[in-house]
Amino acid sequence: MNVSAAVTVEGFVAESLATHGRDPRHLLQHLIRVQQRFSYVPDAAVEALSAALDVTRTQVRAAIAFYAFLHERPRGAFEIRFSDNITDRMLGSRRLIRLLIERLGLMGLPAWGRDLIRSDGRVSVGLASCTGMCDQGPALLINGQAVTNLDAQRVDRIADLVQEGIPLDRWPGEFFRVENNIRRRGLLLGNPATDGAALRRLLDEGADAALAEVERSGLRGRGGAGFTTALKWRFCREAPGTDRYVVCNADEGEPGTFKDRVLLTDYADLVIEGMTVCAGVIGARRGFLYLRGEYLYLLPHLESVLQRRRAEGLLGARILGRDGFDFDIEIHLGAGAYICGEESALIESLEGKRGVTRKRPPFPVTSGFDDQPTVVNNVETFLAAARVVQWGGYWLRGEGTDQSAGSKILSVSGDCARPGIYEYPFGTPVHRVLSDCGAENTQAVQISGAAGATLSPADFDRIIAFEDLPTAGSFMIFDDSRDLLDMVRNFAAFFAHESCGFCTPCRVGGALLRNLVEKVVAGQGSEYDLSEIRHIGAVMRQASYCGLGHTAPNHVLNTLDKFPSIYRRRLAREAHTPSFDLDAALSEARGIAGRNDPGAHIHALSGETA
């Protein structure tokens, strides 16, 4: 529970500053703590932080406006956010949202940027982008904590607990249980054990030898883009700079991805060991783990792992007793911004700012955190790197394809009997994954998330590998009972919401695509609108500032090509249809003039504009 009259805003901010420091780069972390404590960021906190950190009020307010989990006005003492990924919807989340709204006596439905807040301040209901619980949804966040496996009974019980004002720590523990659901283990998941062996080998054989092993392994980044890890480490190591940084990108925001959540739960030691090895190779003394806000519940666990490793001499000053090998890791929380999964936006966010992507070059390897050489790698990449240094490059090369060494961990969700985590050697065909997870009558697979590619059955023989189907790990399955346009609507709304707003092609294009898709859904779209969708999508791909805008139209362009009927069967007969209801647009004027004669109406045209 958030409410306690005893603590003033100023007092709380002062305590946060005393505990966590006055580095302006900690602005976002202070704001997150204030938000968690008061259910919003009061003006007094803006003033206090602005003064103490020497950042302008405008910068503070800009950060609050940017991050979806920060608010200028109070949310409910119980702040509820339903995960609104298509996989949640397929599991019935919309029905459950309506049920909860009704039980709580709220009116309407929450939408992006519009939370329903009860007038007594007890509770608010809003939406969140995919919270990474796709294999155990529908899911929600309550005061930042993940609740899984929602059904009508659970929602009923949540409504009761809220009405009774029971603090979260006295809620049934099973509400907050998050399963790992590891269904297939390969090279990486086969063995979670670690005893600092990678670090010992690094110290025994030296940084050059360790980097040579990473080079030999051919390891490529697991975040999706597939940049060669050894090259990234080498560039960073050789770049001029006073300090170097290691950043673990645990901002697993791509809809349908949840493997990092599992890795951080059961394999956190190996991930941190990978970061520490990287620090040894590049010569970094500080690292950050950027944890998405949706995984707040993992924070105590990760802090305890860090603490234990410090106690074991695997982290901190004089690692394993080696003079000069000092490295420690801070966990920074995100606050609900998809764009912060992009490495330069993530660095901006680490520096306490809005997560707007940077111009590249310079790349983070030469000018990253604090404009110093920085390695940003995905959780899975660090895990693999730790094993590569421990067991050698050839170990990883034992599996995979020419250009894609090793294995890939997939997050499988949607229409299948066994959703969860599957690790496969690169080169595995899509149909193999489908049969292993018990998917039947599959109409489509959305691979690599909302920004990824839509696969039709003609693609199911293609292989998961950088040379064919690169993926960050999201694998969402749609059987033939699904209307794929529901997926398109969901993704279009997602991208319109998640655009950082910096560049026009993405900010405006995303909204236009969403509106055109909704127009088609309403049965008012025309051929002209489909050509507009293609045109706008092409402009976004070509002219957007960063990868978000480049990939945002993929889902709609892919489905237009591969599943044209989901659009065509809804088109109006006219070659062009108005973008709004002309007659309804006269409603106010009719009311004011007190008219309802035929002349006070505009009639729809019947196909004559063709």
Cα 450–Cα 452–Cα 457 angle in degrees, nearest 5: 105
Give 186: exposed, middle or buried? Use CB within 10 Å, 0-12, 13-18, 19+. middle
Is residue 522 near other proteins by the rule CB under 8 A? Answer: no
Per CB under 8 A, does 507 bind other proteins? Answer: no
CB of 115 to other proteins, least distance (A): 23
Subset of 538-577 contacting other proteins (CB under 8 A): 575-576
Q: How far is the CB of 534 from other proteins (least distance, A)?
A: 15
Near other proteins by CB under 8 A: residue from 252, 600, 606, 607: 600
Q: Which stretch binds other proteins (CB under 8 A): 15-23, 130-138, 561-569, 581-589?
A: 581-589
- Using the rule CB under 8 A, which residue among 159, 586, 606, 607 binds other proteins? 586
Q: Does 582 bind other proteins (CB under 8 A)?
A: yes
Is residue 580 close enough to count as binding other proteins by CB under 8 A?
Answer: yes
Among 197, 590, 606, 607, binds other proteins (CB under 8 A): 590
CB of 4 to other proteins, least distance (A): 40
The encoded tokens of residue 488 equal 């398109």
Kindly state the tokens that stand for 281. 């190779």
Does 602 engage in binding with other proteins (CB under 8 A)? yes
313: contact with other proteins by CB under 8 A:
no
Q: Residue 598 has which token pair?
A: 């035929």
- Per CB under 8 A, the segment of 215-223, 229-237, 487-495, 586-594 that binds other proteins is 586-594
Residue 359: Cβ-neighbour burial (10 angstroms; 0-12, 13-18, 19+): exposed
Per CB under 8 A, 92 contacts other proteins:
no
394 vs 580 by CB, closer to other proteins: 580
| Stretch of 141-149, 360-368, 370-378, 601-609 contacting other proteins, by CB under 8 A | 601-609
Assess 504 for contact with other proteins (CB under 8 A): no
Single out the segment in contact with other proteins by CB under 8 A; choices: 117-125, 345-353, 565-573, 590-598: 590-598
* Torsion angle defined by CA atoms of residues 238, 243, 249 and 251, in that order, rounded to the nearest 10 degrees: -150
d(Cα 294, Cα 32) in Å, to the nearest integer?
A: 12
Q: Count of residues for the chain?
A: 610
Q: How far is the CB of 595 from other proteins (least distance, A)?
A: 7
CB atoms inside a 10 Å sphere around CB 32: 23
Task: Using the minimum distance from each CB to other proteins, give the nearer residue, 252 or 574.
Answer: 574
Query: Which residue, 522 or 593, has its beta carbon nearer to other proteins?
Result: 593
Out of 403, 441, 565, 579, the only residue in the binding site for other proteins (CB under 8 A) is: 579
3-state secondary structure string across 209-243: HHHHHHHHHCCECCCCCCCEHHHHHHHHHHCCCCC
**Half-sphere exposure (CA, 13 Å, Cβ side) for 347?**
24
Write each residue from 387 to 426 as x if it is in contact with other proteins (CB under 8 A), else as -, in one continuous string.
----------------------------------------
Residue 608 in the binding site for other proteins (CB under 8 A): yes
Residue nearer to other proteins on the CB measure, 423 or 574 = 574
* Residue 588 interacting with other proteins (CB under 8 A): yes
Please state the φ and ψ torsions of residue 111, each to the nearest 5 degrees. Answer: -140, 175
Please, which residues bridge with residue 220 across strands? Answer: 228
Q: Is the Cβ of residue 191 or residue 531 nearer to other proteins in the bound state?
A: 531
Q: Which of 528, 541, 562, 570 lies at the binding interface for other proteins (CB under 8 A)?
A: 528
Residue 564: cis peptide before it, omega within 30 degrees of 0:
no
Alpha helices (runs of H) in 118-228, residue ranges in sequence order: 152-164, 197-205, 207-217
Of the listed pieces 397-405, 430-438, 482-490, 600-608, which binds other proteins according to CB under 8 A? 600-608
Alpha carbon distance 40, 425 (integer Å): 46
- For the sheet with 245-250, list strands across it: 328-333, 286-291, 245-250, 374-378
The least CB distance from residue 582 to other proteins, in Å, is 6
The DSSP annotation for 537-584 comes to HHHHHHH-SSHHHHHTTHHHHHHHHH-THHHHTT--SSSS--SS-TTG
- Contact positions toward other proteins, by CB under 8 A? 528, 575-576, 578-580, 582, 585-595, 597, 599-600, 602, 605, 608-609
